[in-house]
Amino acid sequence: MKLREHIEKLVDGKPYRHALFYNFPGGLRLRMSEGGDYFGRVLTALRKATAVCEDVFAGADTMVVHLQRYATPKRFDLRFALKQLDLAGITIPRARDIWAELVPRDEPDDDDNWWVHLVFELPRSQLQNLLWCAFACDVWELRPNPHCLVYLINPELGLIVHPYDDRGMDVIGKNGSALKHLYTVHQTLLLEYDLDVMYQTFAVDATGPAH
């Protein structure tokens, strides 16, 4: 099965980009940074997310990476992103899936802009490199910074991790037992605003698939 087909199966073919916790009920929303300057917030988020992801990918040698990047018609932004990924120590393997989807136009004379998708496998040892790229995404002053959305997938467990910015990270999937374990182990990181929803999902019964 192609990597693209594998991850689409995890989300029943639904597109995903932002707010996975709200668009795919039954997951986790975790609090990352705790204030401070840009650099400090990213480092705090990196530390917390690494602890969670070490559990998500425990026993796995590799992880599936899904990058999404907004691209203008001339594609100069993609060249920049690839250079920044290289500076972050992330080498795109030859075995990969790549596709693009046209961004819906708001006005008839809008340029044809695209969301470009890139899916590939990397060793788990590059976890922190990818988390840095994810948390630095919205902070233009930080480098390296490919300014792309980062999703980390464990296909064996059926979990998708989305560190959406330095403030937080979503974990979704159909593996209720694995999500229940993360809920229990990382309760101190759960986002208070959505705690009641997660309690209803996991504190009562989460032995089956999470939907």
Contacts with 39 (C-beta within 8 Å, 6 or more apart), sequence order? 142
Domain-embedded: residue 127: yes
- The pLDDT of residue 203 is 82
Average pLDDT, the chain: 89
Amino acid at 22: Y
pLDDT band at residue 210 using 50, 70 and 90 as cut-offs? very low
Domain-embedded: residue 134: yes
Range of the domain at 190: 3-201
Backbone angles phi, psi at 199, to 5 degrees: -60, -45
Q: Is residue 146 pLDDT above 80, yes or no?
A: yes
- The pLDDT of residue 75 is 74
Q: Does the predicted TM-score (pTM) go above 0.75? A: yes
Domain-embedded: residue 197: yes
- The pLDDT of residue 207 is 46
pLDDT band at residue 1 using 50, 70 and 90 as cut-offs? low
> Tens digit of pLDDT for each residue in 155-204?
999 999 999 988 899 999 999 999 999 999 999 999 999 999 999 999 86
Count of domains for the chain? 1
Whole-angstrom distance, CA of residue 71 vs CA of residue 196: 38
Greater confidence (52 vs 209) lies with 52
Which residues partner with 123 through β-bridges?
Answer: 62
Which tokens belong to 201? 């999902």
Tally of helices (H runs) and strands (E runs) in the chain: 7, 7
Domain-embedded: residue 102: yes
Domain-embedded: residue 210: no
